[in-house]
A = this chain, B = another copy of it.
Amino acid sequence: MAAAITSREQDYSQWYNDLILKGGLADYSAVRGCMVIKPYGFALWENMRDQLDRMFKETGHVNAYFPLFIPKSFLSKEAAHVEGFAKECAVVTHYRLKNDPNGGGVVVDPEAKLEEELIVRPTSETIIWNTYKDWIQSYRDLPILVNQWANVVRWEMRTRLFLRTAEFLWQEGHTAHATAQEAVEETRKMLDVYAQFAEEWMAVPVIKGVKTANERFAGAEDTYCIEALMQDGKALQAGTSHFLGQNFAKAFDVKFSNKENELEYVWATSWGVSTRLIGGLVMAHSDDQGLILPPKIAPLQVVIVPIHKGEEQLKAITEKVNVLMSELKALGVRVKYDDSDNARPGWKFAEHELKGVPVRVAIGGRDLENNTAEVARRDEKTKATVSQDGLAAYLHGLLEEIQQNMFNKAKAYRDSHISKADTWEEFVAALENKGGFVSAHWDGTAETEEEIKAKTKATIRCIPLNNEQEEGKCILTGKASKERVLFALAY
């Protein structure tokens, strides 16, 4: 049998770690807070990255690459930004090691001290806007629609595989515009791209909204977000898109001459999603047998297992499978024939379940006689005996059905975990009973937001876009409010 998984009920947190580690997505590393993304996990990330990249390019963006290091003084140029990032960053102070004169291996060479320390980028607004200064003179140079795929480092004290690691992989879009309106439109457009990706590719329903001032990106005028719900009732911020106003243009003195030949500061956006999405993906769909991956991004969509007695039968099965494989590949299906003789079929079944392969096909002696195959769905754990005639087309269609079913299930769960609370008691009860999003009135102040967080650990996940306007009273202070906001416990 494949490695045993802790059940969600027993220990949700351990269940998650088991899936990541035993499912072959990632490993801990020798470096505090950093992980190793294993080949299976990286193949998943590649599929996500490639699709996002296509969507960015379809919306007119191009990729570029900026330095890993940020001069310390750059961070300080935007007041809110440095507050947000200086407290958890990796600082490069020297550029050479030398042999320890006392024979203890290599030590830092004190003579190789940098004049100015370099920060390993926690995000790249500062180094990029320092570069944009050279790229932008006139309105003709705008907009700049650039994205970067990169690694970034934030020295988090408490780390979790994928969800919160000191180093992580992400993309960060950094755009420059001639008007505030155009920048806001870009911010919203990229939020839509993220929402579409989450729902159509990851099969994870999300709520689009805007953050309160407390939860804004350090240096932003407005932070838009998509919020997903995990199976333990906690929310997960899955992507953010920031309207940066002219803050970074002012910090780095980036002006352009407009059509009237007047100098103006440039308007900015930035937006990003990271390998954190993989953590959200795992927690949104998986079960106690292992991962459940949506077909559109699963590294492997179909696995075929022969169930044979003797070489002769294996040969007959393999002939059938070879035809099926080439038909599936012609349909663009990612398929593998697991005919290794290292393991028994039962072990293979458990292994592929653990790894979340959407469809398993088993072909045995009776199937050869009957021209059938056994088709097992990972999402519903159902099996069906299906004719080999037209099997490739059937499987291709089944993958689409699974993708849609996974989204529907996640959406039904999410929708059943949004509740309204009109009093403090209702609010606390809603959080405790089943978690999820609690829609409640709030008086609009940072103080109240913080007090609610201190009392319940719940934070305002977002003010939903196109939020209904409704008179009400703050659940904590009873002060007047014009709209509900979404609270939740969150990762």
User: A residues near B, CB below 8 A?
Assistant: 27, 29-31, 34-39, 42-43, 45-46, 62-76, 82, 86-98, 105-106, 108, 117-120, 127, 130-131, 134, 140, 146, 150-151, 153, 155, 167, 169, 342
Contact of B88 with A91 in the complex, beta carbons under 8 Å: no
Expressed in whole angstroms, the Cα–Cα distance for A131 and B28 within the complex equals 9
- Which residue of A70, A88, A92, A342 has the most chain B CB atoms within 10 A of its CB atom? A92
Contact of B106 with A86 in the complex, beta carbons under 8 Å: yes
Which residues of the partner chain B approach A140 to less than 8 Å between Cβ atoms?
Answer: 342
Given A91-B94, A95-B90, the answer on whether A43 and B63 have CB atoms closer than 8 Å is yes
A96: min CB distance to chain B, Å: 6
Which residues of the partner chain B approach A65 to less than 8 Å between Cβ atoms?
Answer: 36-37, 42, 45, 169
Expressed in whole angstroms, the Cα–Cα distance for A354 and B458 within the complex equals 57
Contact of A62 with B42 in the complex, beta carbons under 8 Å: yes
Which residues of the partner chain B approach A36 to less than 8 Å between Cβ atoms?
Answer: 64-67, 131
Beyond A29-B66, A34-B67, A91-B92, 7 extra complex contacts between A and B, CB < 8 Å: A30-B74, A37-B65, A39-B64, A42-B62, A68-B151, A87-B97, A93-B94
- The 19 listed contacts between A and B (C-beta, < 8 Å) are A29-B66, A30-B131, A31-B70, A36-B65, A38-B64, A39-B62, A45-B65, A86-B96, A86-B97, A86-B98, A86-B106, A87-B98, A88-B96, A89-B97, A91-B92, A93-B94, A93-B108, A140-B342, A151-B151
Expressed in whole angstroms, the Cα–Cα distance for A57 and B27 within the complex equals 22
A100: min CB distance to chain B, Å: 9
Which residues of the partner chain B approach A105 to less than 8 Å between Cβ atoms?
Answer: 72-73, 76, 82
A291: min CB distance to chain B, Å: 18
Closest to A144 in B: B39
Contact of A97 with B75 in the complex, beta carbons under 8 Å: yes
Which residues of the partner chain B approach A87 to less than 8 Å between Cβ atoms?
Answer: 96-98
Expressed in whole angstroms, the Cα–Cα distance for A307 and B290 within the complex equals 62
Which residues of the partner chain B approach A62 to less than 8 Å between Cβ atoms?
Answer: 39, 42-43
Expressed in whole angstroms, the Cα–Cα distance for A106 and B84 within the complex equals 12
Contact of A153 with B97 in the complex, beta carbons under 8 Å: no
Which residues of the partner chain B approach A68 to less than 8 Å between Cβ atoms?
Answer: 34, 120, 151, 153, 167
A103: min CB distance to chain B, Å: 12
Contact of A118 with B90 in the complex, beta carbons under 8 Å: yes
Given A27-B134, A65-B36, A67-B167, the answer on whether A95 and B106 have CB atoms closer than 8 Å is no
Closest to A340 in B: B140
Closest to A154 in B: B95
Expressed in whole angstroms, the Cα–Cα distance for A172 and B146 within the complex equals 26
